[in-house]
């Protein structure tokens, strides 16, 4: 019995983090084994690549190769073994982020990204993607209040408009996989949408 693979996506400042813990709690209450992880990252090697990715200057091809190298290690060591034993994997970002940030944001070739996706993932895709969507201006205000910016978070509003459009395009390509969460709402309203998306799947 394969477990479920859930990913969480959205532009920086969408408010994913606070809901990921609540999501894991909800699943555990339903007696599901949960593996909570993130990308880039999730293994010692991938976390090392994350540090480079977030803080060193590089071109879009290097970005794409780094995130997919990290993803390869993460899939092999964490995600695939967890799914094989029936656990539910909750991953803070996955390949939709590569299409949104490197593809739509940086303008990296989408066909080449799809080739990397196929090469690295061998047909593995999330079962459900919770896409936290909100206007980039609102997200920027939240980020400014919350923390020091890393390399990607310093990009301008136009960059995040493209990233947002990149997510929308991914959703439009496989709408059944996605649940769009209106993240420009009070926390409680955001959580209600997440709970509704989970309940609608009838998996637990």
Binding-site ranges for ligand TYD (CB under 6 A): 12, 17, 38-40, 67, 92-93, 97-98, 101-102, 152
In the complex, least distance from residue 92 CB atom to ligand TYD, rounded to whole angstroms: 5
49-61-42 Cα angle (round to 5) = 25
Nearest to ligand TYD by Cβ — which residue? 101
Closer residue to ligand TYD (CB): 39 or 87: 39
Return the CA Rg of the chain: 16
4 in Cβ contact with 89 (< 8 Å): yes
In the complex, least distance from residue 204 CB atom to ligand TYD, rounded to whole angstroms: 25
In the complex, least distance from residue 200 CB atom to ligand TYD, rounded to whole angstroms: 25
In the complex, least distance from residue 15 CB atom to ligand TYD, rounded to whole angstroms: 10
Closer residue to ligand TYD (CB): 146 or 199: 146
Closer residue to ligand TYD (CB): 114 or 200: 114
Say how far apart CA 203 and CA 62 lie, in whole Å. 38
Closer residue to ligand TYD (CB): 37 or 102: 102
In the complex, least distance from residue 78 CB atom to ligand TYD, rounded to whole angstroms: 14
DSSP reduced 3-state for 114: helix
49 in Cβ contact with 36 (< 8 Å): no
Closer residue to ligand TYD (CB): 12 or 83: 12
Which tokens sit at 82? 């967890």
DSSP reduced 3-state for 183: coil
In degrees rounded to 5, what are phi and psi of residue 18?
Answer: -65, -25
Closer residue to ligand TYD (CB): 80 or 92: 92
In the complex, least distance from residue 24 CB atom to ligand TYD, rounded to whole angstroms: 16
Say how far apart CA 120 and CA 61 lie, in whole Å. 15
Say how far apart CA 144 and CA 190 lie, in whole Å. 21
167 in Cβ contact with 100 (< 8 Å): yes
């Amino acid at each position: 019995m394969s477990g479920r693979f859930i990913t969480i996506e959205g532009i920086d400042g969408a408010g994913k983090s606070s809901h990921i813990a609540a999501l894991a709690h909800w699943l555990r209450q339903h007696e599901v084994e949960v593996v909570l992880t993130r990308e880039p990252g999730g293994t010692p090697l991938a976390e090392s690549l994350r540090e480079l990715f977030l803080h060193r200057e590089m071109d879009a091809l290097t970005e794409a190769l780094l995130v997919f190298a990290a993803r390869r290690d993460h899939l092999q060591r964490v995600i695939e073994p967890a799914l094989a034993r029936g656990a539910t994997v909750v991953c803070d970002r996955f390949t939709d982020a590569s299409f949104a940030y490197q593809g739509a944001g940086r303008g990296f070739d989408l066909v080449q990204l799809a080739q990397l996706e196929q090469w690295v993932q061998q047909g593995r895709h999330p079962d459900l993607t919770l896409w936290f969507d909100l206007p980039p201006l609102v997200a920027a205000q939240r980020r400014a209040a919350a923390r020091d910016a890393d390399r990607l978070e310093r990009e301008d509003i136009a960059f995040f408009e493209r990233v947002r459009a990149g997510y929308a395009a991914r959703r439009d390509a496989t709408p059944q996989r996605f649940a769009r969460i209106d993240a420009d709402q009070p926390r409680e309203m955001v959580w209600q949408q997440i709970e509704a998306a989970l309940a609608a799947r009838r998996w637990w």
